[in-house]
Chains A and B, each alone.
Chain A
């Protein structure tokens, strides 16, 4: 049942947010229903498929396995924030060029995972990319184009010697 509400104050995509939330309110529902950030999506709801992937204090996290009430003082980044800031513009452009997106339902999680991979390992092999993205389920593309896109961005970022 709903129970008492809990006050939380956190930062979402650079904006500070304060809410009273039910203890059972999930981070994905919090983002979608409280803040209208619908780019983070429900799909498996048990931490397998990666459609709900967000960054919490810079760490790649399954939104469906986190309660909003746990996030006092945390810094959340979602696909909307990373799109607006331009932080993943080169990845988005490469996904577009390679058609590494079909229905688009997995794309937010896929992009956030790819971005985190490139932060942790700036020069991954093709097998490294496949391995790292294996927590993100895509039913449409067969993954090949996604791997192409991430590989291309890794190469171009490495050539530039810095992030875009």
Chain B
């Protein structure tokens, strides 16, 4: 197709390491995050949060707080009554999912430590916090249900009595002949895995500034968020405002990773407060309250069994997943997706057709858990890859060899998995061989063997996997969520020959603006400096889903491409009139209208001037149309799956249990690579986020549901000194669902790293004949496995 040819031609920006145009501003301290806004009559919000995991509120005495200096208003639940409608985190396509109505402030009981109970609005944050400390609440402690298994045990108190139990959701898959396959297996391996709760720790905490204009009856929300259009629908619905009276602006966002896409009670309180006060109200979570009010993620306990032939062919996989989601399923995406993804994805990159999985999702008195970067993938990948490695050890096969035997062959597509996923075209085999070469796998094995003789314990870990990207409406929209699977772009030629592109995908630092500018510039034959991208404003961009599920480039990028293509046709039509030449004999390059022999005919500035200022020079009846809008949603497949494989090399100190990461490798196939530098950086950042969960990050709760390490000194995140260099290489298997052929890459690093590192740790432990199957793999857990704990 001609479109592909111009993307590929030499002057194209596609496939080039183009630096992000908007990053210079960020590097000069010129970012505009929500907390940087200064508005007149601004009010600051501070919350009093529940100190208990589960407790009844007997009384609230806010009289002293109300009289404190600088206080504008103190809000309890009943002060917000009538100004909002509650929300319920269920969707119809997750049959049986339960969750009670949720409110901005706890009404008569709190269900997790950190749930907001009272909000104080004051002239400064410091004064608001001073006043919040004067609020007196009389509590009656209730039993805290924290452990997932205990939550489902008979006789355990029920968190939401109306449901009759603490089971929020279940799902089962039983495909093929699982029992028969286990019965005839040469080998069966079995292992239990656990994955701790962790959280996002965005550098910029959650931030919102809600500004209700009473006279204009309009609400403007400046929000650190990934999905402005979704939030506009939600604010309009739950504050009963006209849809077009709500505007959501997402300026620079200081990290999100899935944290900033859920409805938070404290954010809803800030909006309600602005509606009630008729003044701008700002809430910026501090770090300590972020730990108990941001969503948490993961927390799984999994049993897996694998049946194999003597030669190492997988015959069947069986898996039980128990996961905990806190007291509410989050709104509007629900907390069923994480476990659902684990069920869908586990084992899905292998040829195996006999698969049984059971998922149980429990309510608990801890903060809600829900979608966080790579949703379910790190769990599915770690369980699959760990048990495959265990089987390899049992059968005396090399880990690379057992993967060669079982990966879906590159020539077998299209493929439907046992859980029903449809794969268009993947490249597992090619990716594995490329990775083994990249890391010099055989050389590392020799080095490992040599060093073992000297008592140095190094481990090599491999992890293959798939990643779900470019989701269509089957992901959320089908279940009733106001979540758009399509995105849009409007591109306008300005009179001086540059273009402005309004784009519904938002920028969180991943490079949305660079990617869109590269596509628009390539399609319109413009120098990239001539392209300006506008994002993050529901009033000034086309409607679209925003940033989540690795969809910005694959879905949004295609919308930009099609809009640019349409604008090009319009420009050439007008140029054809001006030059009295058939438009099909003209093309755009270097900011000029060219003829087919490459001779410059007129500049785009001349076209722009004629269109906007000198219509008098055009033939009668000519109507220039110097803007074009296009939208795109995936059509052929519900999701565009990508594939990847990672390798980890590390050294384990058997005396201290410390792990030193030496190097990490990734081969990624995300279809067309629009900007290799940006894709590599997404992968690297993702890998390190995955390593965080694998080695360090854990929300430690005691039996009463109290978080014991809710600060950045005690909750460990990956820092530069502990992290390895990460080498990234690519295979490009384009999707035929779009002209661009791009799939997503935002979460692949996080999906595979915990598995690769876990396999490397267990490879290092092999001489000791012990394994670690709990993440994070802390020195304490490693020493315990070694019998030294």
CB distance from A9 to the nearest CB of B (A): 23
CB distance from B750 to the nearest CB of A (A): 10
Whether B201 and A139, one on each chain, are in contact in the complex, defined by CB atoms closer than 8 angstroms, is: yes
A18 at the interface (CB under 8 A from B): no
Q: Nearest chain-B residue to A43 (Cβ)?
A: B203
Whether B205 and A104, one on each chain, are in contact in the complex, defined by CB atoms closer than 8 angstroms, is: no
Contact with A along B712-756 (1 / 0, CB 8 A): 110001111111011000000000000000000000010000000
Whether B713 and A46, one on each chain, are in contact in the complex, defined by CB atoms closer than 8 angstroms, is: yes
Whether A103 and B29, one on each chain, are in contact in the complex, defined by CB atoms closer than 8 angstroms, is: no
Whether A142 and B687, one on each chain, are in contact in the complex, defined by CB atoms closer than 8 angstroms, is: yes
Assembly CA distance A136 to B723 (angstroms): 13
Assembly CA distance A45 to B726 (angstroms): 30
Which residues of B lie under 8 Å from residue A2 when comparing CB positions?
69
Which residues of B lie under 8 Å from residue A140 when comparing CB positions?
203, 255, 509, 681, 685
Which residues of B lie under 8 Å from residue A144 when comparing CB positions?
684, 723, 725-726
Assembly CA distance A46 to B38 (angstroms): 24
A55 at the interface (CB under 8 A from B): no
Whether B681 and A41, one on each chain, are in contact in the complex, defined by CB atoms closer than 8 angstroms, is: no
Interface residues of A in 86-103 (CB under 8 A from B): 92, 95-99, 101-103
Whether A103 and B719, one on each chain, are in contact in the complex, defined by CB atoms closer than 8 angstroms, is: no
A108 at the interface (CB under 8 A from B): yes
Assembly CA distance A45 to B35 (angstroms): 14
Whether B685 and A102, one on each chain, are in contact in the complex, defined by CB atoms closer than 8 angstroms, is: yes
Interface 9-mer from B18-26, B156-164, B574-582, B760-768:
B18-26
Assembly CA distance A79 to B20 (angstroms): 20
Whether A102 and B720, one on each chain, are in contact in the complex, defined by CB atoms closer than 8 angstroms, is: no
Which residues of B lie under 8 Å from residue A159 when comparing CB positions?
none
Whether B711 and A79, one on each chain, are in contact in the complex, defined by CB atoms closer than 8 angstroms, is: no
Most buried by B among A80, A103, A144: A103
Which residues of B lie under 8 Å from residue A83 when comparing CB positions?
27-29
Whether B509 and A42, one on each chain, are in contact in the complex, defined by CB atoms closer than 8 angstroms, is: no
Q: Nearest chain-A residue to B200 (Cβ)?
A: A139
Contact with A along B26-70 (1 / 0, CB 8 A): 111111010110100000000000000000000000000000010
Whether B23 and A45, one on each chain, are in contact in the complex, defined by CB atoms closer than 8 angstroms, is: no
With A38-B36, A103-B203 as known contacts, state yes or no: A143 contacts B29, CB within 8 Å.
no
Contact of B27 among A1, A36, A46, A96 (CB under 8 A): A96
Whether B508 and A103, one on each chain, are in contact in the complex, defined by CB atoms closer than 8 angstroms, is: yes
A40 at the interface (CB under 8 A from B): yes
Whether B257 and A139, one on each chain, are in contact in the complex, defined by CB atoms closer than 8 angstroms, is: yes
Whether A137 and B29, one on each chain, are in contact in the complex, defined by CB atoms closer than 8 angstroms, is: no
Assembly CA distance A92 to B340 (angstroms): 43
Whether A104 and B27, one on each chain, are in contact in the complex, defined by CB atoms closer than 8 angstroms, is: yes
Contact of B287 among A46, A131, A142 (CB under 8 A): A46
Whether B203 and A137, one on each chain, are in contact in the complex, defined by CB atoms closer than 8 angstroms, is: yes
Whether A131 and B509, one on each chain, are in contact in the complex, defined by CB atoms closer than 8 angstroms, is: no
With A46-B287, A99-B681 as known contacts, state yes or no: A139 contacts B28, CB within 8 Å.
no
Assembly CA distance A14 to B763 (angstroms): 56
Whether A139 and B685, one on each chain, are in contact in the complex, defined by CB atoms closer than 8 angstroms, is: yes
The count of chain A contact residues (Cβ–Cβ below 8 Å) is 57
Which residues of B lie under 8 Å from residue A36 when comparing CB positions?
38
Which residues of A lie under 8 Å from residue B570 when comparing CB positions?
none
Assembly CA distance A49 to B726 (angstroms): 23
A21 at the interface (CB under 8 A from B): no
For the residues of B in contact with A, the DSSP-based class is loop
Which residues of B lie under 8 Å from residue A108 when comparing CB positions?
29
B130 at the interface (CB under 8 A from A): yes
Q: Nearest chain-B residue to A26 (Cβ)?
A: B126
The count of chain B contact residues (Cβ–Cβ below 8 Å) is 59
Whether B511 and A99, one on each chain, are in contact in the complex, defined by CB atoms closer than 8 angstroms, is: yes
Whether A48 and B713, one on each chain, are in contact in the complex, defined by CB atoms closer than 8 angstroms, is: yes
Interface residues of A in 128-164 (CB under 8 A from B): 129-131, 133-147
Contact with B along A12-46 (1 / 0, CB 8 A): 00000000000010000000100011111111111
Assembly CA distance A104 to B26 (angstroms): 5
Contact of A105 among B203, B511, B685 (CB under 8 A): B203
Assembly CA distance A49 to B721 (angstroms): 14
B252 at the interface (CB under 8 A from A): yes
A68 at the interface (CB under 8 A from B): no
Which residues of A lie under 8 Å from residue B257 when comparing CB positions?
139
Assembly CA distance A140 to B685 (angstroms): 5
Q: Nearest chain-A residue to B202 (Cβ)?
A: A139
Whether A142 and B726, one on each chain, are in contact in the complex, defined by CB atoms closer than 8 angstroms, is: yes
With A96-B23, A96-B24, A101-B23 as known contacts, state yes or no: A45 contacts B255, CB within 8 Å.
no
Whether B685 and A142, one on each chain, are in contact in the complex, defined by CB atoms closer than 8 angstroms, is: yes
A76 at the interface (CB under 8 A from B): no
Which residues of A lie under 8 Å from residue B287 when comparing CB positions?
43-46
A69 at the interface (CB under 8 A from B): no
Assembly CA distance A95 to B27 (angstroms): 8
CB distance from B699 to the nearest CB of A (A): 16
A51 at the interface (CB under 8 A from B): yes
With A24-B126, A102-B681 as known contacts, state yes or no: A143 contacts B30, CB within 8 Å.
no
Q: List 21 A-B contacts (CB under 8 A).
A: A36-B38, A39-B28, A40-B29, A41-B35, A43-B287, A45-B286, A95-B23, A96-B23, A99-B511, A103-B254, A103-B509, A104-B509, A105-B204, A130-B721, A131-B721, A139-B201, A139-B689, A141-B684, A142-B688, A142-B749, A143-B723
Given contacts A38-B33, A101-B509, 19 further A-B contacts (CB under 8 A): A1-B130, A41-B33, A42-B35, A44-B287, A48-B713, A92-B24, A98-B677, A101-B20, A103-B255, A104-B27, A104-B31, A108-B29, A126-B725, A137-B203, A137-B719, A139-B717, A143-B723, A144-B684, A144-B723
The 10 closest A-B pairs by CB, nearest first: A39-B29, A104-B26, A102-B509, A105-B254, A103-B509, A79-B29, A142-B688, A142-B684, A105-B203, A134-B721
